[in-house]
Each structure stands twice: as structure tokens, then as C-alpha cells.
Amino acid sequence: MDNKQKLFSTVESLFMKYGIKSITMDDVSKELGISKKTLYQYVENKKDLIDKVMQQNFANELRDIGEIHQNSKDAIDEMLQVSKHVTQQLREMHPSVVYDLQKYYRESWQEMEKFHEEFIYGQIKQNIERGQQEGLYRLDLDPDIIAKLYVSKTMVIVDESTFPLREYNRETLFLEYIFYHIRGIASLKGLKLLEKHH
């Protein structure tokens, strides 16, 4: 891991722990043990810092999900491993991270939404096609339509107006959603396998 990667990983941990709005550039330089002048050699301002942290986060996601895809036994195992990965991230995420991005860093939030829409769509479509080939998902489904439905519903989970954080736990929401999704598309063989996992 080079200096830049280390820097952005440390900042990501800070954001996840305390939220984005509450962290200043002074906090970042203190945490990194470098001067603000040195910090500004890597980034132009806080918005640039957020964007660079997000870009690194996207690259890590691609790597992690790619590894899960390679190492999973079947399509259902893959979905369950991905859900474990996501719930772990949700567990570590400060409740205000999404709110801060939506309210104060709109462009960054839109960038993140775009990445997730394209990335998640591709992963889910691929997973459905894999599950159909393995006989675990129903063959009468259109992978394109189901993947698009999945993506749009994922955005609802982080929508404060639908699921306010004071009433709903994001981790629980996501797990409910994953099982709702798999049960909706699984064949009888797939449902039996899911019961073994669950």
C-alpha cells in the first residue's frame, strides 16, 4: 500500500467513525501526523479529499466483490457472502455518513449513486444468470428487469424518509432485503439450499 492509499484509507476510517461533516482538514492532518501543507499536496480541498476517498472505496469494492464471486460455491452462496460483506460495512458506518453526503456533498453523493447503480446492476444481473444456469433461480425471470428492480430498491434502504435511522437498523433492513430478493427469484432447489444456509 503506497502513501496515498494509506492516507485515503485512514481518512475513510475517520469518516466512517465520525461522519463526514464533523471531520475538518485539521482533524485529518492531525490523525495522519502530517501538516496541512503536506495534506494539500495530495488534495485540493475537502471535497477533493471526499472524492478521492470514494474513488479508492470503489476500487476496493470491485476487488472485494470480485473475490467473493471467484470463491463462492454457487449463486446463492455468492449473494449471502456479499450480504455479509455489506452488513459489515454498514455496521462500521457512522449513521450520518449518507446524510452528510446527500446534504453537503451532493455531487459526490450522485457519483456514488451512479457507481452503485452500474456496479450493483452488473453484479446482480450476472448473479441471476449464474443462478439460472445452476438451476437455483427460476428460468422465467428476466435478469435485466430483476437487476434494475434490485438496484432501485437498494436506494430505498438508505432513504431517510422511508426508513428513518432512529426507527430502523440499516443492517437488519439489508438482511431482510437480501432474503426477500432471493426468496422471490429462487427455484425449489434454490429455496432448499437457502434454508440450509439460513
CATH number for the domain harbouring residue 104: 1.10.357.10
Confidence of residue 186 (pLDDT cuts 50, 70, 90): very high
Asked if the structure places residue 62 within a domain, the reply is yes
Helices (H), 1-74: 3-18, 25-32, 36-42, 46-71
For 57, the domain range is 46-197
CA distance 158 to 162: 8
Domain count within the chain: 1
Q: What is the DSSP letter of 137?
A: B
The whole-model pTM stands at 0.86
Give residue 198's pLDDT.
Answer: 66
pLDDT digits (tens, 9 = 90+) for 48-104: 999 999 999 999 999 999 999 999 999 999 999 998 888 888 778 877 888 888 889
Cell output for 8? 485515503
